[in-house]
Chains A and B, each alone.
Chain A
Amino acid sequence: MEFEQAYRLTQILTSLAFIQQSLEHIRRYRNEIIIFSLRIIFSLILLSGSYTGFSLIALFIIALLMLTRFQGPYNGGADRMSLLVLSCLCLVQILPDRYWQEVAFGYLALQLVLSYSIAGWVKLINPEWRSGQALSDVFEFSVYPVSESLRRLSGFHHLLVIFSWLVILFELLFPFSLLFQQSLIVALTCAAIFHFSNACFFGLNRFLWIWIAAFPSILWLQDRLVQHL
């Protein structure tokens, strides 16, 4: 994937993810209406492809206001990823030199790889993850299961062991998928299924959209690395 193509696709997917996130806010609270309405407006401008630099800077300022408003991310990792994607898009926009633009966009791709590999590593070194106990705990007493009926899954020990190892292996092996474009596409499809299931089981819908928004960066980086080698 070409740099311009990947960069523009990231802009489009990010703006759609931001619109989805913001719509969830504006019907809720009066003093959140202004900030999230502005976020939707600038996301729409970004989506249209005109004034991209201006809208990215405006979205970054809004992101800082959101951080202050909620004294941190509203939605944990999803908001942090949103801010990371946005920061990298802004840097590409303001950096004058193509080399540094590629470094900034490559940083997003690198963080995407790390988001899987580090998460896989910390699970691998935890005996409770290896035995399936950690996933059982997630279903049994964590706040994440979206319904009480899902808590029953904590009793399916063998199934949870299998799923724990599938998650660990997928996350750890993700960096190796960069060797070939086909393997990367398979890995990203698995990643999308992984985020989709997290959204279904744990209600983490924002993770799904913002992680997918970062996928073009890794498709570009893989292409760039293969060309370089």
Chain B
Amino acid sequence: MLRIFKLLLPAIIPSWRFFDVIAASPRIQYVLLNKQSENLSEWQEYTARLRQLDSITILKRLFWNPHWNEYLFLVSCAERIIANLNLSTDIIDNHHSETEILKRICRALFSHKNSFDEEDMYLQFRLLMVNRDNTQNPAEVVFYSSAKSLTELQCQNGI
């Protein structure tokens, strides 16, 4: 009950400090691993951002924008993890955010599959911080998730 109240309070008494400081921004990268923790692919950025958007698509997205809003939710989860790194008190919240990111990346990658050929395939993500000085080569990895098996994440049939 106290937890719900804590979540509800910022909505009832909002701070409205939109974009007050443009701080370093998180990027989510993922990798597929096998059971021996060997990379089966390179680290790749997970993003819903396209290279170019035409005006019709932009207008359509005023009404239908699920992929982008999900991506912003995952960024929020990444920000929660980073905020908790120095606290280490809110383990539940970190676990939730980590699982949400893993499950949603998994679904985005494999939702078309009915079964996995490689039963021992694992998914891991890491978080990098991008700021004004390192937009091209974000170097600072601030978090590695645990590696979860794709079967465990059940990404074939939704979450």
Contact = CB atoms under 8 A, between A and B. Distances in A.
A203 B68 CA distance: 7
A24 B65 contact: yes
B49 A149 contact: no
Interface in A50-89: 64, 67-68, 70-77, 79-81, 83-84, 87
Interface string B90-132: 0011001100100000010000000000000000000000111
A148 B50 CA distance: 6
Nearest to A76: B76
B61 A205 contact: yes
Contacts of B139: none
Given A24-B64, A134-B19, A140 B135 contact: yes
Contact of A141 (B18, B70, B130): B130
B40 interface: no
Given A30-B159, A122-B17, A146-B68, A141 B135 contact: yes
Interface in A203-229: 203, 205-206, 208
A84 B18 CA distance: 16
B87 interface: no
Chain A interface main SS type: helix
A4 to B, nearest CB: 24
B66 A24 contact: yes
Contact of A203 (B11, B61, B100, B157): B61
B7 interface: yes
Size range of the chain B interface in the assembly: 35 or more
Contact of A111 (B14, B62, B130): B14
A118 B15 contact: yes
B96 to A, nearest CB: 5
Nearest to A203: B68
Contacts of B70: 28
B53 A146 contact: yes
Contacts of B19: 119, 123, 134, 138
B7 A67 contact: yes
A70 B101 CA distance: 12
> Which bracket fits the contact residues of A?
35 or more
A80 B10 CA distance: 7
A27 interface: yes
A29 B157 CA distance: 9
B72 interface: yes
Given A138-B22, A208-B62, A145 B49 contact: yes
B159 A147 contact: no
A31 interface: yes
Interface in A79-106: 79-81, 83-84, 87
Contacts of A148: 49-52
Interface string B67-93: 011111101100010000000000011
Contacts of B26: 143
Given A24-B69, A128-B22, A203-B69, A71 B53 contact: no
A67 B10 CA distance: 12
Contacts of A80: 10-11, 14
Nearest to B138: A141
Given A149-B52, A206-B69, 12 more contacts: A28-B158, A29-B107, A71-B80, A72-B7, A76-B76, A83-B11, A84-B14, A119-B18, A143-B72, A149-B51, A203-B72, A205-B61
